Amino acid sequence: MWGVSLQRRCLHHSFCLMKKQKGKTPAEQRWLTRQLKDPYVKASHAQNFRCRSAFKLLEIDDKFRVLQPGDSVVDCGAAPGAWSQVAVQRVNSAGTDPELRRGTVVGIDLLNIPPLEGAHFLSSHDVTDPATHAKLLELLPNGQAHVILSDMAPNASGFREMDHEKLIVMCLSLIDLAERILQPGGSLVCKYWDGILVQKLQGKLSSVFGSVRTLKPNASRKDSSERYFLARMYRKPVR
Ligand SMILES: C[S@@+](CC[C@H](N)C(=O)[O-])C[C@H]1O[C@@H](n2cnc3c(N)ncnc32)[C@H](O)[C@@H]1O
């Protein structure tokens, strides 16, 4: 009986897939097939996350407890907003003293970020622009963040080295941002694509953070060069 209902569901699933794939290029068809089979895509629909990347941050935070109730968090490259959803959940706890445990989440993206209760979004803003840093100073309590998250990525050109370099430059700009808004002892989670400049980024992070570790969450696709640095115990450089 179970076998028959599963067979029906599979036939229905294949039919939907065929309908969705009509008129698509082979690359688009491969992407769609992968999306439809992906357990994290299914889970993100079931749990109302805006995209599967939510599970990367959930995994990192479950293991390392980066986001604490009451924290102020800046989410760089926030669109469509799944990491901000996770951050809003984690920094606002239903504890006994809600005032003390109400956190702040500010998301920034070049693109439009649909509104999310509990978050403040700076859509059409560039994280690397000093004008954005100035706005952040106004939005964060005392102009300070406990955590900077970055899942930023440039539009991939298809040239691996070039894309890697672009993303490393973006990650390096987060060190300038940290100097302006990250409080001593704070943390940074940032995505990078593996390549020759990773050691340079790691070195720069290690010069201002007490610990830097490399992470590859299970939700990050195995065939992707995507990795994350988790840098903790920020030390503000003395100028
Ligand atoms: C992989 S998506 C982020 C997904 C997001 N973490 C989520 O969970 O919904 C990468 C985002 O980085 C943004 N981005 C790239 N460069 C940026 C920049 N200089 N400033 C702000 N956002 C940027 C892109 O527009 C894109 O929306």
Query: CATH number, domain at 206?
Result: 3.40.50.150
Confidence of residue 226 (pLDDT cuts 50, 70, 90): very high
Q: What is the DSSP letter of 26?
A: H
Tell me, yes or no, whether 25 and 105 share the same domain: no
* Whether the CB of 108 sits within 6 Å of ligand 1: yes
Which sequence positions are flagged as catalytic?
191
Tokens of 32: 């769609």
Residue 207 C-alpha to ligand 1 middle, in angstroms?
26
Residue 37 C-alpha to ligand 1 middle, in angstroms?
24
pTM for the model: 0.88
Mean pLDDT of 5-21: 47
Q: Which domain does 8 fall in, by range?
A: 2-37
Cβ proximity of 64 and 230 under 8 Å: yes
Confidence of residue 66 (pLDDT cuts 50, 70, 90): very high
For residue 239, the model assigns a pLDDT of 77
Confidence of residue 35 (pLDDT cuts 50, 70, 90): confident
* Whether the CB of 128 sits within 6 Å of ligand 1: yes
Strands 145-150 and 104-108: unpaired
Decide if pLDDT at 14 tops 80: no
Q: Whose CA is nearest to atom 21 of ligand 1?
A: 109
Tell me, yes or no, whether 8 and 100 share the same domain: no
Across the chain, what does the average pLDDT equal? 90
For residue 25, the model assigns a pLDDT of 85
| Tens digits of residue pLDDT in 131-181 | 999 999 999 999 999 999 999 999 989 899 999 999 999 999 999 999 999
Query: What is the number of structural domains in the chain?
Result: 2
Number of C-beta neighbours around residue 205 at 10 A: 22
Q: Is residue 77 part of a domain?
A: yes
* Whether the CB of 60 sits within 6 Å of ligand 1: no
Tell me, yes or no, whether 17 and 97 share the same domain: no
Nearest to 120 by CA among 151, 150, 84, 153: 84
Number of C-beta neighbours around residue 17 at 10 A: 14
